[in-house]
A and B are shown apart, each in its own frame.
Chain A
């Protein structure tokens, strides 16, 4: 059996602590007793999750076939964890074996998902954790706002300064003009056809 990485052991300890503290997660773990799920992440080692006596164990590799297996790209798996089986990334995943067990494991991990501020407070105390969390949220909001503003500025430069792209009103006006020209050409064609018909009749 290969060694289990230390980081995986830390994740397992974190999830188990949350399972013990959450009635919903504990009930989900009890329902999964004796089952296993293999998670094949593209480019990484397989992770096997097992529940035994209400406790989740995460190991790399596995000696026997798991009850269910999910494989896919890291982002698609994260999307699945975040949004459930109906998520957009669902199409990029492959589920083999008992799909219900796979869905229950997702519910278990979602119910036991750690609160990062709470975990941080265990290391550095409540007040510093609160400050650090607020700082991280503010930094994230700033990064999002900066990214959005940079995108808007770039679009404006390409549309208004360099004129490599057209803006939406100009595009709509152009398309409307094309429509009007097509309709006028159709009308002219119809009139010519009617005139031709009259000439033939006379």
Chain B
């Protein structure tokens, strides 16, 4: 499904969120706690928005791995990182979030931005991300969630189902899937419990833009 939207993905994100997704990602990056020389993994990183920020944080002596299950999305992300001049300290890898092909305790920080809802077995993905984190490392999950205000939800549904997809995407069915996958995604408290069940300590979440998006985080202790 992402094959058909890869090239328009960033434009769609801007239109979908009126550009606010940049602030959500910036906030996520502000909480990584990464220092120069450390290693980070961006799971389901797609077009590389978060990976670009992670690269700035770990510097030349650090390492960032951008992974995505979709080669076409990864291709867009890889080209973008190359165009931004990042070579040598970044790897792009086609990988399944449920079975990450890395050794245990490999990364200081793992991020997944707007990717977890597309993973079939979310619990397996969280366990896989926990495994590759180093002790003391942090997982950050940025994802659409359940709006807090009741009046906001019908407006949000009307907008995401009926307007934006048809307006821009050539493949309306793909964007219908995206909108539906947001509805199917666990709410804030459920995802928090899933993080705890996967072994994460100090798990908590931050609602952004009235809960339309939530950032969940937890540490491997």
Residues of A within 8 A of B (CB): 1, 3-6, 9-10, 13, 16-17, 20, 50, 52-53, 55, 57, 59
Contacts and interface: CB of A to CB of B under 8 A. Distances in A.
Contact of B30 (A1, A13, A52): A13
B33 A53 contact: no
A5 B1 CA distance: 35
B33 A9 contact: no
A112 to B, nearest CB: 13
A57 B33 CA distance: 12
Interface of A is mostly: mixed
Interface in B192-220: 192, 201-202, 204-208, 211, 214-215, 219
A114 to B, nearest CB: 13
Interface of B: 27, 30-31, 33, 35, 135-136, 188-189, 192, 201-202, 204-208, 211, 214-215, 219, 221
Nearest to B208: A6
A50 B202 contact: yes
A13 B204 contact: no
Contact of A9 (B31, B192, B211): B31
Contacts of A10: 27, 30-31
Contact of B33 (A5, A16, A59): A16
Contact of A3 (B135, B188, B219): B188
